[in-house]
Amino acid sequence: MLLDLLMISNIAVPTMCIIGFCHNNKGFTIDHVFILSAGFIFYWILPFFIYNFGFFSYPFSLSEKALSAAHGKTNTNLTHILQLQYFIITSGIYTSFIIGHILSVRMRIIYFRINHFSLKPLKYLAFVYLAFLILLTVGHYEYLFKGYTKEVFTLKGNIITLNILILTVLMMYFTLLDKSFKFRNIFHNYIFYLYLICTIFLASLGNRTWIICGILSFFIIYTNYYKRIPIKWAGLGLALLVVVVATSAQYRTGDFRSIPIDRIISLALHDTFVIHLGLKDYLSNNDINIFNFPIVLVSKLYKIIPTLIMPNKAEMYYTYSDIGVNYTSVQAAWHSFGTLMTHFGAGGSMLLSFILPFIMNYLKNSIYLKASYIVITAHFAAPLFRDFDDFIIKIVLQICIIMPLIYLLICNIYPKITNKL
């Protein structure tokens, strides 16, 4: 009875927070509270809810095959005590996040300002990224529009990075324009055309996660900095998202036959059930501490250093097995709960969840870092829940913090140099 109550409350409370914090009589705002709450339900709670109540058996059969094929393991049920422990911790993490959000929106924050500024370097930067895109694709054009294959793993990774970099530049350019700027003008700009071309190439390689995050970015900039969207359009968008996820999953398999509605739902849920098995594997084989030091995450900070400078940096990384944690990925995905517990422990994860809204609201209201807020928030949708380490190091630190600060420095120096010339 207590387990069912905790499970239902872990769905009901985030749903009420979405309605309370992200909705008013003008419509919905898609922000970090909306996406993190929805992701919390979808990745952390929904698999348990559906599994315990016996809905949709098809995704479980797919997940069992995935786990068995990858690791030679079978899907074992968690004990009542382990599930109870899990839901108590998840309740604490989400409650800490909401308390942090309530306090952060009431706190007065001082933001930095730049006196001299020009957007021209961002336009020039788009041509640099265009050159990189040509170099990436010209030697691998035979793999484009062939769907998902293992041979394009490195190519796809490079195009994903370039895609997010271009998206960040696009969002920086338009968030730094004056307030008279009209949203529709985003789609009439050559930086957007470059992003669109890169996204088409990415789609041709059978990728959907990063494309969905890109689409979310435009909803985030629109609903946070222009106007909210009516609830009917939000509902329609959600329904279309489910169909897109399901049909793109079907595309990856190469099966283009008609898809019944139950299979559409199953394919839409497949991703969360696959990584859910990794979570069950983690909970079954590891103890959860109150606090941990994130030695594995800290060691991976070497990823920020270019391989050209440190070619052997991979040898510096710690793995989970190095610190005695029995935790493996399923289909190259790591459940974020297991990653958080390994890095920070239960108490550390709650503290991190409390601090997170302060950081996000600072970025959201900063004059110069709104683009970072948009791109990070959009990628909360899946990368955060599927690969926490890569999300933090590559997307947050490298692409959304370090690179925008470099862009801002260049944009600040550019007028001074041109004036002297």
pLDDT tens for each residue of 193-252: 999 988 888 887 777 788 888 889 999 998 998 888 877 776 776 666 666 655 555 555
Burial class (CB in 10 A: 0-12, 13-18, 19+), 219: buried
Cβ 94 vs Cβ 43: under 8 Å: no
For residue 74, what pLDDT is reported? Answer: 47
pLDDT category of residue 359 using cuts at 50, 70 and 90: very high
Round to whole Å and give the CA distance between 202 and 324: 37
Round to whole Å and give the CA distance between 242 and 239: 5
Q: In degrees rounded to 5, what are phi and psi of residue 28?
A: -100, 145
Round to whole Å and give the CA distance between 59 and 55: 10
pLDDT category of residue 260 using cuts at 50, 70 and 90: low
Whether the per-residue pLDDT at 151 is higher than 80: the answer is no
Residue with tokens 């009542």: 80
Positive or negative CA dihedral for 389, 394, 395, 400?
positive
For residue 55, what pLDDT is reported? Answer: 60
Round to whole Å and give the CA distance between 214 and 207: 12
pLDDT category of residue 147 using cuts at 50, 70 and 90: low
Whether the per-residue pLDDT at 27 is higher than 80: the answer is yes
pLDDT category of residue 308 using cuts at 50, 70 and 90: low
3-state DSSP assignment of residue 209: helix
For residue 61, what pLDDT is reported? Answer: 52
Cβ 134 vs Cβ 162: under 8 Å: no
C-alpha separations of 350 from 37, 98, 100, 288 in Å: 15, 11, 10, 13
For residue 325, what pLDDT is reported? Answer: 86
Positive or negative CA dihedral for 52, 56, 57, 59?
negative
pLDDT tens sequence across 368-415: 899 999 999 999 988 888 889 989 998 999 999 999 999 988 888 888
The encoded tokens of residue 73 equal: 């393991």
For residue 354, what pLDDT is reported? Answer: 97
For residue 229, what pLDDT is reported? Answer: 80
Q: What is the DSSP secondary structure assignment for residue 205, as one 8-state letter?
A: T
Whether the per-residue pLDDT at 7 is higher than 70: the answer is yes
Burial 382-401 (b: 16+ CB within 10 A, else e): bbbbbbbbebbbbbbebbbe
C-alpha separations of 266 from 235, 255, 403 in Å: 19, 15, 38
Domain count, the chain: 1
pTM, two decimal places: 0.88
3-state DSSP assignment of residue 229: strand
The encoded tokens of residue 78 equal: 């968690």
For residue 48, give its domain range. Answer: 1-421
pLDDT tens sequence across 272-289: 877 888 888 899 889 999
Cβ 379 vs Cβ 394: under 8 Å: no
Q: In degrees rounded to 5, what are phi and psi of residue 12?
A: -70, -45
Whether the per-residue pLDDT at 135 is higher than 90: the answer is no
Whether the per-residue pLDDT at 49 is higher than 70: the answer is yes
For residue 15, which amino acid is it?
T
Round to whole Å and give the CA distance between 83 and 111: 43
pLDDT average, residue stretch 3-28:
89
The encoded tokens of residue 175 equal: 């968030």
The encoded tokens of residue 23 equal: 């909705």
In Å, how far from its chain's centre is CA 124?
28
Whether the per-residue pLDDT at 4 is higher than 80: the answer is yes
pLDDT higher at 120 or 260? 120
Whether the per-residue pLDDT at 143 is higher than 90: the answer is no
Whether the per-residue pLDDT at 122 is higher than 50: the answer is yes
Round to whole Å and give the CA distance between 162 and 280: 34
pLDDT tens sequence across 156-191: 778 888 999 999 999 998 888 766 667 888 888 889
Whether the per-residue pLDDT at 85 is higher than 50: the answer is yes
Round to whole Å and give the CA distance between 97 and 361: 12
Name which of 133, 244, 131 is nearest 197 in CA terms. Answer: 133
Beta carbons within 10 angstroms of residue 292's beta carbon: 20
